[in-house]
Structure 1
Amino acid sequence: MAGEQLYAFEQSFSFSPLSSKKFSFLQDKDILTLLMKWSMLGRISAQTFSFDQSFYPYNSERFALCFFRDPNVVSSLRKMETGAWVPLEKPAVSVDVEVVPCTKVSMELFDPIYSCGVLRPSGHVVKCFHDVYPDYDELRQMLQEEDSEHYHVIGRAEREEFLLRLFKHLCLGGELCQYEDTIDPYISTTKHIYKDLISVQKDPETKKISVVSTVLKVYAQDESGRCYPGRWDEEQTFAYMIVHPYKRHVTLLYHSYGVGSVTF
């Protein structure tokens, strides 16, 4: 009986797709050209849903589970399988949720990269030899390999930030990524997408700007195992829920690693 009472008070959320919501990074011609070059075009998406209850970060797992079980989400949320977009189709039975730090309101986090030897004064990325990856460079090595001499230029806490994770995802790209010779396209695209997804507010007294969004990295499982964002563990197949608690909107940023496509 006591267990039933506890369950009765467990918060539940309902969701509705906001199909009219558009994202400028998926409309901008220059960014679309870069996403094609990075083998991400047609494999990256963003969908927004409204929800009906107050959200608090401590309730993130319950929120995500309700999301992946909601009939409106199951029927309208898309994922990529064998190169085609398909609906989620089945409700989740469980979720794994990581609250991702998201506090940055400027691009200062990247300042150390410009003076540590990863880049030339012109902004060109320094190339380096790698046993596995041809055409490797110091930027990707710094982002991926802890034994890189430049790895600790960006601190552990900064590496956890959503802004840095987004930058890393773009730098690594898709299966047939054509990597950039300079850092500028990665920086400008990261800034554009981040501003598209993250909401901020200004304190009327201090004038300080702060992030109000909560970011959740999510994986969902159905009765067959992991079903979203993909069946297999791949760093570049990812899903982030960006929650705006005041508007009661949640945007899901999704990418499926593979060969890019012009269709969506």
Structure 2
Amino acid sequence: MAAGEPGASGGYCFRFLPQRTFASLSAPETTGRLRQWSMLGRIKAQAFGFDQTFRAYRKEEFVLAFFKDPNVIANLELLSDSSGQWMTLGTEVKNVEATGVPCTQLSMSFFNRLYDENIVRDTGHIIKCLDSFCDPFPISDELRKVLLDEDSEKYEVFSKPDRDEFLFCLFKHLCLGGSLCQYEDVLGPYLETAKLLYKDLVRILLACATLQQGVTNRRFRILLWILSSVMLTFCTIALVWGRCLDVLLFYLYLLCFIIFVF
């Protein structure tokens, strides 16, 4: 299907955007850490665009249309559990479950509680604990206990809404790493890498929100997070910013009117 033609489902037409790269994933400081955490070559970000207005109440229809679009089927890459190689989706998805992932956190102070609750020392060193196991992850420090062990007394340091935040999901993914992960003794590298990736992945939504004013066919890009199975998460922060901009423009018009009249 050529770009610009009506979509096969729900009126949505998706375009693969190979020119949109994510510098945070190729930065030297990031690649070195991903290699240490056994994640280099096993984490990827791709961008797709679409030309219809996104409605949050129609998210299931939107996501299903995404996975049925020929441009997505031919270009969306997934990591095969069996071969460990990247492969394209290659077929239509019959059923989907769409889950909104909030991106409300705008500061890394979100993780200061790790210091306050004696999970990380003031020096940044992660406090060790007796070895245990949470399949398939070994737990040898208080940080992984907070991330994985629901029976831990400090698990509630992060509430359910906190754990749903994309920033937390990204941080957790980096901390747990791959099958041959060499864990860090200090918190800094995890926070720094999560911040780089988060800013790179989320800012595109803010840019699209600021450019949507005065455009008849609003154009957004969605954020995909693909793990071992097909799981799509996308952020509605663009809609929130869009509403804020609508209000701001209203007051700017009102101010110009007052200045003109008086």
Shorter-chain TM-score range: 0.7 to 0.9
Give the match for residue 90 of structure 2. 89
Residue identity opposite 1:159 in structure 2: R
Does structure 1 residue 69 correspond to structure 2 residue 74? no
Secondary structure of 2:44's partner? strand
Give the match for residue 77 of structure 2. 78
Q: Deviations for 1:2-39, whole angstroms, at most 9, x for unmatched residues?
A: xxxxxxxx833111111101101122011011111111
Q: Distance in 2 between matches of 1:57 and 1:215?
A: 13
Q: Distance in 2 between matches of 1:110 and 1:215?
A: 26
Secondary structure of 1:94's partner? coil
Query: Aligned-residue CA RMSD in angstroms?
Result: 2.7
More helix by share: 2
Give the match for residue 117 of structure 1. 118
4+ residue runs over 3 A deviation: 213-218, 228-231, 237-246
Give the match for residue 192 of structure 1. 196
Secondary structure of 2:181's partner? coil
Secondary structure of 2:96's partner? strand
| TM-superposed deviation, 1:108 | 2.1
| TM-superposed deviation, 1:242 | 4.8
Q: Which protein has greater RCO, CA pairs closer than 8 Å, 6+ apart?
A: 1
Distance 1:105 1:215, change over 3 A: farther
Aligned length: 214
Comparing 175-184 and 143-152, the one that deviates more: 143-152
Distance 1:138 1:214, change over 3 A: farther
Q: Distance in 2 between matches of 1:179 and 1:93?
A: 38
> Which segments of 5 or more consecutive residues in structure 1 lack a partner in the other structure?
1-9, 205-212, 219-227, 232-236, 247-264
Residue identity opposite 1:44 in structure 2: I
Distance 1:16 1:114, change over 3 A: same
Q: Distance in 2 between matches of 1:74 and 1:239?
A: 14
Q: Distance in 1 between matches of 2:180 and 2:160?
A: 29
**Bigger radius of gyration:** 2
Give the match for residue 40 of structure 1. 39
Secondary structure of 2:78's partner? strand
> Which segments of 5 or more consecutive residues in structure 2 lack a partner in the other structure?
1-8, 211-219, 240-262
Q: Distance in 1 between matches of 2:139 and 2:238?
A: 43
Mapping for residues 209-220 of structure 1, pairs under 5 Å? none
Give the match for residue 252 of structure 1. none
Distance 1:216 1:145, change over 3 A: farther
Secondary structure of 1:131's partner? strand
Q: Could you tell me whether the CA contact under 8 Å between 2:60 and 2:98 is conserved in 1?
A: yes
